[in-house]
A and B are shown apart, each in its own frame.
Chain A
């Protein structure tokens, strides 16, 4: 055994969220690991197919739901192609959990606004479920989510679920031109909808995740609404291999995304050098 040895997982369910994004639900093959495994929202792992290599994704399911973990990903290269070739019932590997996590205890008793774009909903969804499973600990919960088009919206079945909950305010949007005739949600880029939704900054934490351009334009909107940098959280990604601070690959200046991250608040992001 060594620290690079993964747990064996069985693919239990495969859901194609969008034409290019897939979610997999995985179970630990070893029942002892299954019952003892725990993690915190925001942490990531190294998912591998033996033969094509390891990929780094956040754990997209909530720590409150035991017995399984989930990941969502797009096919971009060799390792993710290997993952796409898996079928239900196949074995694969998982190493983790690594990294830091969202400070949920800080957010207890406060309002939480989730802002996500495209596949950026995956790391945020983990926290959403974590919060909703412990709903009474948090005050107002707002979710603002958008994608390029209707077909690019991830977790459609969960969006339906959140839309019907009385204790969640959900805004869904697609980019202008991405709507279908049947679309009943908003039309506009995510930062625009955040401005429209105008969540109160007082006593509120924001969790933002999505394409860099979305984050770039969302942060000033939140600033205008009164959110302070230490109340805005996001996750960064970077090229990773070991996931545990030794291979020397994922650092941004002196910050190791795998150890000091992947969760950062906007104040920390502002101190990072332009190397990501």
Chain B
């Protein structure tokens, strides 16, 4: 942690960046913080409570953050994949951000409730993390901690869903969608949802009804999942922030599985590796074109 604070102080003092986006300890656990003065770097921390994906603050939509100047961002492996996505899709130039990678042993799913990592408290996504040492970095800090507790919660839930028939699955999602109030928190926190004008907000034509009934909600969530297919990094922020506790990660994880099966693609933090959306290979299967 001291290395992080020292580095942040240095970057700010030398004017390499104007703001360091990292984590601090807040009233309800670790939370995002924006350090603009070198002496404030003392409040930066990196603990198992640092669950938020800070890459979302690099989105072009956040004009009030852009006004601060060039940022440095603390990134875990999953966060780095999101930054890679932004670079890959031309939303961010690599040279316009300093990436401070941290070696990660997993984070808790709710920093307000849990401080220590355990099988019970670990976030869903950490169970099968493949990027504990992010590669898309300018600096890499910290000792490599032990692997996160191997929680199987996510795969169990996926297995339960896949065991259902199509009718049962549709009934399951309809029931979940009755709870959605269309706050779009899932969209606003997603680092890959950077469209200044989201399809769901377009009125001419009204592609997706904005009212919070199951019909409109299903349309929104299915469209959202499709637009994230092959792009979602699985950080699970959408699910964590949902006020109605809808298991959105399940949808996105399924899309990721399909992307892997069909296109041999797994989200990674190398912006040079092309994604299925935005790249075409001759070997791509085309059996759906008849």
Contacts and interface: CB of A to CB of B under 8 A. Distances in A.
Interface residues of B, number: 3
Interface in A78-126: 78, 81
B199 to A, nearest CB: 15
A77 interface: yes
Interface string A152-196: 000000000000000000000000000000000000000000000
Binding site secondary structure of chain B: loop
A77 B206 CA distance: 12
Interface in B183-236: 203-204, 206
Contacts of A78: 203-204, 206
Nearest to A78: B203
Contacts, number: 6
A77 B197 CA distance: 14
Contacts of A77: 203-204
A78 B204 CA distance: 6
Contacts of A81: 204
Nearest to B203: A78
B21 to A, nearest CB: 28
A77 B203 CA distance: 8
B183 to A, nearest CB: 16
Nearest to A53: B203
Contacts of B206: 78
Interface string A59-86: 0000000000000000001100100000
A78 B202 CA distance: 9
Contacts of B204: 77-78, 81
A78 B201 CA distance: 12
Nearest to A79: B203
Interface in A29-51: none
Interface in B69-98: none
B204 to A, nearest CB: 5
A81 B206 CA distance: 13
Contacts of B203: 77-78
Nearest to A82: B204
A81 B203 CA distance: 11
Interface of B: 203-204, 206
6 contacts: A77-B203, A77-B204, A78-B203, A78-B204, A78-B206, A81-B204
